Chain A
Amino acid sequence: MLVILVPVIFGLMGFALDLGRLYLVRAELKTAANSMALAAATRLIGTDASTDAATTAGAQTIETATGFGNKYDFGGSTVGQTNGSLNSEVQSPTFFGAAADALGSGGGETSGSLAKYVRVTITGEAGLTFWRFLPLASAGKVNVIATAVAGVSAPLCQACSIEPLGVAALDATDGINFGFLPGTKYTLGYVCNGVNPNGPLPNTVGRLPYLILNHLDSNATVFPAEASQLLRIGVNGLLPSTDQTVACSRVGNTEQLWATATTANCTPGILSGAVTAMLCGIGLRFDSTPQGTCAGLADLDTIASLYPPDTTTDDFDDYASYTGTGRRVITIPIVDVLNASADMTVLGFRQFLLLPNSGAATINVADSNGRFAAMYVGSVKPLRQGSMSGCTQSAGPGKVVLHQ
């Protein structure tokens, strides 16, 4: 009788304890995999170097030097390492250009510049307390596998933390690129009145006029001065705010000119202080030392110290070879028509890579027409915040979401 009862009792107790432990281990590994995938996917910015950066970022979620990395098995076992008798392994992340491939069982892996999705698989052994006495689980442990897929979402209808430099579509019927040519270097220049004697900058093919769109935070308590706000927007995009009209721009909504960023005559081309402040912020993406023209801007040195510049100031002819962190990639609203005195309707959002002036390591914030060079790159970098609801977009930047 006892011979029969003992395996039955141990089997039942295993259901209560070992199965519960397996569920717990699976949940912990799934959390670790999700975090790794999300961290990795944010670094996928369409460059050859992005997959290496993504792999590094993913690994940071389970690092143990600080003692706060994700662990498993009641938080006692390190993910990706051997802990006594239990082993865990983190497979190298795999990258895909399409969500269907990332969610599929095999194939479709791609290189860095095409990668938009990442799949992370973590294996961890879980110990068995009672089932180890049964022949089927005599090893005393079992492998638990967790997989996560993260990548870019559908195009965003509302984009936050972007750069509010309104540029008119070259072809509003082109839902993919709005008439801009990917990989082409343009000169962005501030709208001015009259005949513009200044053509495009060297090594660029044409001039794209822009206006600064109004996202002034009149309730700001941190660096509230208008110039400070423009400086911060220039260096890091729209300011964080719970007011969506301040922090974000939305497709289909109308935008107006930033009130003090007025246009001037093209000759002699004296920019308003607001435009200069914005350009000073953009310049800080290349070099944290402000240019002389920026002297006197409120909170300049403090703000300059808060935002790290990109890791490279090089010019690039091919975006895929860009080796920076993405700090020089700006996301701007594409509007139907530029108009300094009327509403402008946002058609979508597209991205440009800021380029240094020819022979220099940064832009010239003192340019009399607010010109700087930028390469059109389409929609390569995921945004930090935004919403997908409320419009239909065939292309555009998304944000990082979990797909599995």
Chain B
Amino acid sequence: MYMPVLILLFVGMVEIARITYTYYAIQRILTGLARYVGTQQAVNFCDDNDASVVAAKSFALTGTPGGDASASGPLIVRGLTADLIRVRLERYDVNSQTLVECDCSETGCDASVGGTAPDFIVVYLPNGYTVRPAIPGVAVDPFPLRPRVRVPYGGT
């Protein structure tokens, strides 16, 4: 009589734990990525193919700087690929005394045209990482996990 309830509790517990661990893993990955890319030299964040950005994403997502960070690669979190991750550049604006997004321009942070380094970077998943709890007999809609990390930029 109690077995279905217990099984439901057990499976639900496992699923919540799995999602918690997934969030934890992604949060650690983003932290590692932010610190890695935030201490490099001559990074052009405005170029998705910049060698430092690609290496940082590969390192964070696969554990090796040259790892394949696409869906077919040895990903630490299944489905968490390089294209899901965005690096937001921020600069302190002395007039508004707030952090504002540093755009990809000459007066912004586009290093390829002379832009200077940002003050902070935020690494996040714009569309989140979608998870779907799998609980037999219970329909649960998928939902996105949206961890993010802001670190001071320490590169040049």
Contact = CB atoms under 8 A, between A and B. Distances in A.
A179 interface: no
A221 interface: yes
Interface in B99-130: 99-101, 106-107, 111-117, 119-120, 122, 124
B24 A20 contact: yes
Contact of A24 (B13, B20, B98, B152): B20
A57 B21 contact: no
Interface residues of A, number: 50
Contacts of B39: 385
Interface stretch (B63-71, B132-140, B141-149): B141-149
A342 interface: no
B125 to A, nearest CB: 11
Contacts of B16: 16-17
Nearest to B39: A385
Interface on chain B toward A: helix, strand, loop, or mixed SS? Answer: mixed
Nearest to B35: A34
B110 to A, nearest CB: 10
Given A35-B152, A303-B114, A24 B24 contact: yes
B21 A20 contact: yes
Contact of B156 (A61, A247, A299, A308): A247
Contact of A38 (B41, B99, B122, B152): B152
Contact of B27 (A28, A62, A385): A28
Nearest to A57: B152
Given A42-B154, A306-B115, A74 B99 contact: no
A242 interface: yes
B152 A385 contact: no
Contacts of A242: 41-42, 51-52
B17 interface: yes
Kindly name the residue among B14, B51, B114 whose own CB sees the greatest number of chain A CB atoms within 10 A. Answer: B114
Contacts of B151: 34-35, 38-39, 61
Interface residues of B, number: 49
A17 B107 CA distance: 48
Interface string A52-69: 000001001111011011
A132 B115 CA distance: 53
B36 interface: no
A240 interface: yes
A222 B112 contact: yes
Contact of A17 (B20, B27, B52): B20
Contacts of A384: 154-156
Nearest to B30: A31
Given A16-B13, A66-B100, 11 more contacts: A13-B13, A17-B17, A35-B152, A42-B152, A57-B152, A68-B122, A75-B147, A222-B113, A242-B41, A306-B106, A306-B115
Interface of B: 9, 13-14, 16-17, 20-21, 23-24, 27-28, 31, 39, 41-42, 51-52, 88, 90, 92, 94, 98-101, 106-107, 111-117, 119-120, 122, 124, 145-152, 154-156
Interface of A: 9, 13, 16-17, 20-21, 23-24, 27-28, 31, 34-35, 38-39, 42, 57, 60-63, 65-66, 68-71, 74-75, 160-161, 221-223, 236, 240-242, 247, 299, 302-303, 305-308, 384-385, 399-400
